[in-house]
Structure 1
Amino acid sequence: MRALSRHLWLGILFSSSAVCAQDASLPEIQVRGPRDAAIGTAESASEGAAEREVFQARPKLRPGDIIEAVPGVVATQHSGDGKANQYFLRGFNLDHGIDFSMKVDGMPVNMPTHGHGQGFADLNFLIPELVSGVSYRKGPYFADNGDFSLAGSATLDYFSVLDAPFAELTLGSNNYRRLLAAGSRSVQDQTWLGAVELVGNDGPWEVPENLRKANAVLRYSQGSATQGFAVTGMAYKSRWTATDQVPQRVIDSGELSRFGSLNPTDGGESQRVSLSGKWFDKSADGETQVNAYAIGYRFDLFSDFTYFLNDPVNGDQFEQTDRRNVFGAQASHTRPDKIGGLDGALSFGAQWRGDRINEVGLYDTLARERLATVRNDKVSQDLFSVYAQQLVYFNDRWRGYVGLRGDVLLYDVQGREPVYGALNSGSGHDTLVSPKAGLAFTLTPANEFYLNAGGGFHSNDVRGATITVDPQTGLPADRVPALAKGKGAELGWRFQPNDDLTTTIALWGLRLDSEVVFVGDAGTTEPGRGSDRRGIEATLRWKINDALRLDVDAALSRARFRGIPPEGEGNYVDNAVERVIAAGVTYIEGPWTASLWLRHLGPRALDTLNTVRSSANTLLNLGARYAVNKHLTLGLDVFNLAGKKGNDIEYFYASCTAREVVAGTCGAGIEDRHIHPMEPRSARFSAKWTF
């Protein structure tokens, strides 16, 4: 093997770790954003970093759409814009994020034991213009990735310095309006950055959404490229009226339009405040990073998915609440070393997250007024984690790593609902050890192959780990493990003849011990069978010339339950995405920036027998910017350019409308597909003034 200096090994190591680790807080590093994975430094075929110019130019209907910069990810919505997106990836309907871990500026986004659903990942507090980098990893193959990362993980970094202060006003269809002002000021190695965002939107719905959102960010950073720290404060608040999914039959009959609502009082409020800090030190002896954060979070959501099925008099609306404080810290260290005379690098760290949930509740309501308490719990849970990963370079062509992660979850549930609260209370713990490994082989300077494997997990709602009685029926309920295990493997190839062209292909498989989840909409648990998922993904990143970039992603997957199905059921994992295709062209030349993106979400089974399938969904968005002069930039975004009438989400279940109650046709409910349409063609115009 060629003799490489200690400093060169550090450069290789830091380049690869930058793909998933957050960049240092320094202005010059944040402006560049994370480096993409490359031959010689990548650890798998399915890790990478999105090009900042591309994901910033891409039109975004909602803040969470930025996560579609991760190949194979689809972000939709089945309710109001103040609620978390619905995510799809690798054969998962991830609901609101249960198996896809997200971080913003080092802070976790996913919420365990959430009032609406486990792993709830609400990105509506995000200000997309402040995002300096989007890096991602897929699969449970890396020791520093923990809860909610079975399918993958994404890290979104914020700038610490901006090129110039600016103010931008955006006006659009459906009474959309947005004002954003941001700027930074640096004196020597000290930088202040601030941003304020105000948003209003009614949407295309017959019942106006009346979204009102306010955002603010303030950051102070200090240091050099080798040592520094940053402290960041964020505040977010929104309220909205939601149009939830409706039965297809009421649209087909003409009783309701595609954009109509069966309950005009659905909607909610959400707020999030946070304070975080990070410190780093880089030297020839290694790199150390320390992060800490505190988050205050409040959430109220009123939903109605079955209308008058369960309560023909008052209706089936319910309220879900979440009041919590989140605290956390993590520290990591990476240093070069030698194993049996071979060069390598050792990474290790520790993580802690503590959620103090003062109220996580479920209530029956009528027009947002509480009628009865289904669950009201006070929950405390702590997840402690340690990990280590050893990278070894065997020779010029071969390198590999092994890792080990340990997690301990402690939890305490205090039920406060007067009938069953005490019976569903309790405390406990769960532990898990997860091995990881990977191997890379450089066939030629332009071709590299990867083999990765590892175990991982997602935590379950801990109320499901202490439950004994179903609060809806009073019948005995099955408990679930607090940590649900999974294991996966991947075989990949990367072709990279130069810096302008990268192609990857990955064959992957993932096995879950159980699809068990706590169902927040019902206040009880649903034990499920184990499942197997497998698929193939391909990506193309091509910088055709200085002005033109082409991005293409395609993913096929298959998801099935294992074993013999119960009577009346099949082995299809319902709502598991089977096909995703995304393609985009970005043009940046002189005063012009333009981006055209197509996203296709294929049909999927809506029941376990595959007797009902969703329709396909194809969306085309266009964005363009023109710099009139050094101060003024004008912009136009057109969403759903082709005017398609697709659906953002489809479900299949039983419901009953008020008219059906009066007609006496409900019975035990009418099974039907329930849809939430994607928004029709709309446009937004913007004017940005740079000072």
Structure 2
Amino acid sequence: MPQRTPMYRFSICLLTLAAAAAAQDDAKPKDEAPVIPVLHQSVVVQGSPVEVTIDRRNGEVVQKTLFSRDDQIFHILDAGINAGQHEGGAKSVEIRRFGFNLDHGGVSGGLKVLTDGVGQNQATQGHGQGYLGSLKSLSPELIKEVNLINGPFSAEYGDFSGLGVVHILTRDTMPDELTFRMQGGSYDTARGFFSYSPTLQNTDALFAYEGSFSNGPFLNPLGYRRDNVTANVTQRIGERRQVAMKFNAGRADSYSSGQLPVDEIIAGRLSPYGAVNPTNGIKQWNGTLAGYLRQEGENGQVWKVDAFVGRSLFDHFMDFTFYLNDPVNGDAFQQHDSRLQQGANVQYLRPHKFLGMTGYLSTGANFHANQINVGLYPRVDRVPTGVASRAQADITNGAGYVQENFSLLQGKLLLGGGLRFDAFRFDLADRVDPLGSGVQSAGRWQPKASASYTPSHRVPLTVFANYGRGISTSDARAIVKNPQMERVATTDFTQAGVAFRSGRFGAQVAGFHIARSNEQVYIPDDGTIEFKGPSRSYGFETKASVELNRFVAFNGGITKVTNAFYLGTPRVYVDSAPHFVANAGVTLSGWRSWSGSLRMRAIDHYRLDGEDASVVASGHTVFDLWVSRRVSRNIDFHVGVDNLLGRFYYETQNYFESRLQGEEPMARIHATPGYGRTITVGMTLKLRRK
């Protein structure tokens, strides 16, 4: 067991004293707009009537943090999410939540991530089911709001939502016509952001560009270059209608260290920032064009319609096992994904009265289609030497849903229920083995239910319970080649607890039970995902937030998984995810032109083998700091220090068999080192305040 440092114990004491989660939201439930609490928590937030927030934090945490990596957005969301780089610096993050390893977001129930209604999880991706690499094109300065749902409690969301939803909404306009940000710092890091947002009558518009470069702390320079372009035009037609068009495109190119054998690092034969294969890395670009229509009625009803089309090209150069399978040329391979996708969503919201109760109806439909050229190729350096697998996969998903919330007993009792149905069609044309081609289909119902009771409005204590069934699909290639296998896994998520909110203080304690119908396992021979046996996970969460005064706020939380295992005998445990995730943050806002935030994130050591408890990953505690000073009306100066205490730690760790050149095969832990102390300095120039 790793030694607990005094700073670690101090931070955990802070979290324990803070108790549990919830939020600062001064608005009380109103009969004409009932809300079901404890479903959502938000950063910067306005909630709709059916999406009340339980955690409200200052938007400056997002707007003024000096981001240098695309995965850092998850570090400030908290919510029991542990995210870390899988191969060093530029690849998509590996996500762990509620005792499950979600890989890159799409397995073991999944964490559904959307940007302005466009799903970011890519099904049947070359790099794994539900890949989140498109988030590299998100510029943090453009984030307006982030809504978090702890589980599959909303009927609005389908595939990959089993362990929660992160919905990111971006700005339609900027507060200043011109915004410039320049930053630079450790590891040859440089980043620039520019936006132009003109002042127009009845129209919000913006154009933004972001470019960044970093070599990281690695001996083999990362060479990570990223360029993003974003544009938006929103036209208000009268008082109740608005139409918008949004465009986003990005490219990314880098090398990476790969996951390194920990035993070689401990023996001193390999630097933790070295590389076994220096040719690993990524090349990708993506673009999305989306249109939005919102129409409000005289009685509060709302129609929302949106549609999008996206194109992406992705190549990932990897080497996990080194010389295990090919002692001469090595096991390096290239994953390829060329994708065209289309989608549309329709939603209708309506407040109403029913048998003396106040209700709020939400109903809608979703459509999503993918056409994917996906392949796996052995390689030497970055040159393919053959074809391991190659296929054209077409996936179509249609869904409909309805959700109703009611307020009774003058708002003391809130009841909610919903139902969703998703239908899938998987069409595969195998370019290597035509006999592996075919068409399969699947469909699943997903019920939702929630209730909360406040005995007295004079006592701000609420007892609540939420239930939802979420789904996650398997890889289309595995489904078609193995028609007998399960095609859609279900996640039954139950949460119950108590929330307290009074003045500037809010807290919540909740227990959870998660029943997964099937777990998912990666098949390295063809890069697909297949299902294995059912599993269970249970534990509790505590969260708290308090505004100490109008300048300083504190928030913290703990997610503790008490057990996670597969059904059956002998007992096999779910591995590769921490059972303890903690966060805490102190935020300073608007004090004599100063703003800042000190944040902590921590995980415990966790098992990497379901049957051998001695194979464990080390935990870590990391502190990040940013400070911002308004120098003048138009200029802000920023300083950020990631990993403030300079602690060495591993972001992700995995256990599997590999072989180094000239040695015998062995099962070992492979890890990706976290960045050391990283100092970034930046300046923001804002002109023509609106």
1:119 maps to amino acid: G
2:208 maps to amino acid: A
Provide TM-score, normalisation by structure 2: 0.90
User: Is residue 683 from structure 1 mapped to residue 679 from structure 2 by the alignment?
Assistant: yes
Residue 33 of structure 1 deviates from its aligned partner by: 5.2
2:518 corresponding residue in structure 1: 514
Provide TM-score, normalisation by structure 1: 0.90
1:681 maps to amino acid: R
Would the alpha carbon gap of residues 110 and 278 (structure 1) be closer, same or farther in structure 2, given more than 3 Å must change?
same
User: Is residue 494 from structure 1 mapped to residue 503 from structure 2 by the alignment?
Assistant: no
Instruction: Give the alignment partner of residue 174 of structure 1, picking from 165, 183, 187.
Output: 187
Residue 11 of structure 1 deviates from its aligned partner by: 4.0
1:88 corresponding residue in structure 2: 96
User: Is residue 379 from structure 1 mapped to residue 393 from structure 2 by the alignment?
Assistant: yes
2:491 maps to amino acid: G
Q: Identify which range, 430-439 or 508-517, moves more after superposition.
A: 508-517
2:277 maps to amino acid: N
SS of the residue 2:279 aligns to: coil
Instruction: Give the alignment partner of residue 206 of structure 2, picking from 181, 189, 193.
Output: 193
1:543 corresponding residue in structure 2: 547
Residue 519 of structure 1 deviates from its aligned partner by: 3.4
Would the alpha carbon gap of residues 292 and 266 (structure 1) be closer, same or farther in structure 2, given more than 3 Å must change?
same
1:294 corresponding residue in structure 2: 309
Whole-angstrom distance in 2 between the partners of 1:8 and 1:683:
47
Say if 1:489 and 1:510, in contact at 8 Å, map to a contact too.
yes
Whole-angstrom distance in 2 between the partners of 1:659 and 1:684:
42
2:311 maps to amino acid: G
For residues 640-672 of structure 1, the C-alpha deviation after alignment (integer angstroms, 9 at most, x for no partner) is 111111100111111111142xxxxx1xx2111
Residue 36 of structure 1 deviates from its aligned partner by: 5.6
Say if 1:392 and 1:400, in contact at 8 Å, map to a contact too.
yes
1:118 corresponding residue in structure 2: 129
1:645 maps to amino acid: F
2:598 corresponding residue in structure 1: 596
1:117 maps to amino acid: G
Say if 2:181 and 2:683, in contact at 8 Å, map to a contact too.
yes
Query: Superposition pairs for residues 39-438 of structure 1, below 5 Å?
Result: 50-58=57-65, 60-68=67-75, 69-98=77-106, 99-122=110-133, 123-164=135-176, 165-223=178-236, 226-283=240-297, 284-357=299-372, 359-396=373-410, 397-417=412-432, 421-438=433-450
Query: Superposition pairs for residues 498-647 of structure 1, below 5 Å?
Result: 498=503, 500-519=504-523, 522-565=526-569, 570-588=571-589, 589-609=591-611, 610-647=613-650
Whole-angstrom distance in 2 between the partners of 1:90 and 1:57:
29
2:499 maps to amino acid: R
SS of the residue 2:62 aligns to: helix
Say if 1:635 and 1:687, in contact at 8 Å, map to a contact too.
yes
Residue 183 of structure 1 deviates from its aligned partner by: 2.6
2:126 maps to amino acid: G
Residue 20 of structure 1 deviates from its aligned partner by: 8.4
Whole-angstrom distance in 2 between the partners of 1:192 and 1:43:
27
Residue 403 of structure 1 deviates from its aligned partner by: 0.8
Say if 1:61 and 1:639, in contact at 8 Å, map to a contact too.
no
1:443 corresponding residue in structure 2: 455
1:292 maps to amino acid: A
Q: Whose relative contact order is higher, 1 or 2, with alpha carbons under 8 Å and at least 6 apart?
A: 2
Say if 2:474 and 2:531, in contact at 8 Å, map to a contact too.
no
1:663 corresponding residue in structure 2: none
Say if 2:538 and 2:564, in contact at 8 Å, map to a contact too.
no
SS of the residue 1:111 aligns to: coil
Whole-angstrom distance in 1 between the partners of 2:397 and 2:476:
12
Say if 2:88 and 2:672, in contact at 8 Å, map to a contact too.
no
SS of the residue 2:574 aligns to: coil
Whole-angstrom distance in 1 between the partners of 2:100 and 2:489:
15
Q: Identify which range, 68-77 or 105-114, moves more after superposition.
A: 68-77
Residue 480 of structure 1 deviates from its aligned partner by: 2.8
Unaligned runs of 5+ in 2: 1-28
1:474 corresponding residue in structure 2: none
Would the alpha carbon gap of residues 279 and 525 (structure 1) be closer, same or farther in structure 2, given more than 3 Å must change?
closer
Whole-angstrom distance in 2 between the partners of 1:345 and 1:440:
16
SS of the residue 1:413 aligns to: strand
Q: What is the aligned residue count?
A: 646
2:492 maps to amino acid: K
2:487 corresponding residue in structure 1: 482
SS of the residue 1:409 aligns to: strand
Would the alpha carbon gap of residues 405 and 42 (structure 1) be closer, same or farther in structure 2, given more than 3 Å must change?
closer
Whole-angstrom distance in 1 between the partners of 2:451 and 2:211:
48
1:473 corresponding residue in structure 2: none
For residues 480-523 of structure 1, the C-alpha deviation after alignment (integer angstroms, 9 at most, x for no partner) is 3221112111102221112x322122211111111034536743
Would the alpha carbon gap of residues 178 and 242 (structure 1) be closer, same or farther in structure 2, given more than 3 Å must change?
same
Unaligned runs of 5+ in 1: 1-6, 22-31, 469-477, 661-665
SS of the residue 2:499 aligns to: strand
Say if 2:475 and 2:529, in contact at 8 Å, map to a contact too.
no
1:106 maps to amino acid: G
Would the alpha carbon gap of residues 50 and 227 (structure 1) be closer, same or farther in structure 2, given more than 3 Å must change?
farther
2:657 maps to amino acid: A
1:671 corresponding residue in structure 2: 667
Say if 2:536 and 2:567, in contact at 8 Å, map to a contact too.
no
Say if 2:34 and 2:406, in contact at 8 Å, map to a contact too.
no
Residue 314 of structure 1 deviates from its aligned partner by: 0.4
Whole-angstrom distance in 1 between the partners of 2:34 and 2:380:
60
SS of the residue 2:386 aligns to: strand
SS of the residue 2:199 aligns to: strand
1:238 maps to amino acid: A
Residue 338 of structure 1 deviates from its aligned partner by: 3.2
Superposed CA RMSD in Å reads 2.2
1:576 maps to amino acid: A
Q: Percent identity?
A: 27
Would the alpha carbon gap of residues 48 and 598 (structure 1) be closer, same or farther in structure 2, given more than 3 Å must change?
closer
Would the alpha carbon gap of residues 648 and 17 (structure 1) be closer, same or farther in structure 2, given more than 3 Å must change?
closer
Would the alpha carbon gap of residues 50 and 377 (structure 1) be closer, same or farther in structure 2, given more than 3 Å must change?
farther
Whole-angstrom distance in 2 between the partners of 1:56 and 1:620:
19
For residues 224-266 of structure 1, the C-alpha deviation after alignment (integer angstroms, 9 at most, x for no partner) is 6632121111110010001111111211222210100000111
Whole-angstrom distance in 2 between the partners of 1:225 and 1:536:
45
Say if 2:33 and 2:360, in contact at 8 Å, map to a contact too.
no
Say if 1:479 and 1:525, in contact at 8 Å, map to a contact too.
no
Say if 2:40 and 2:148, in contact at 8 Å, map to a contact too.
yes
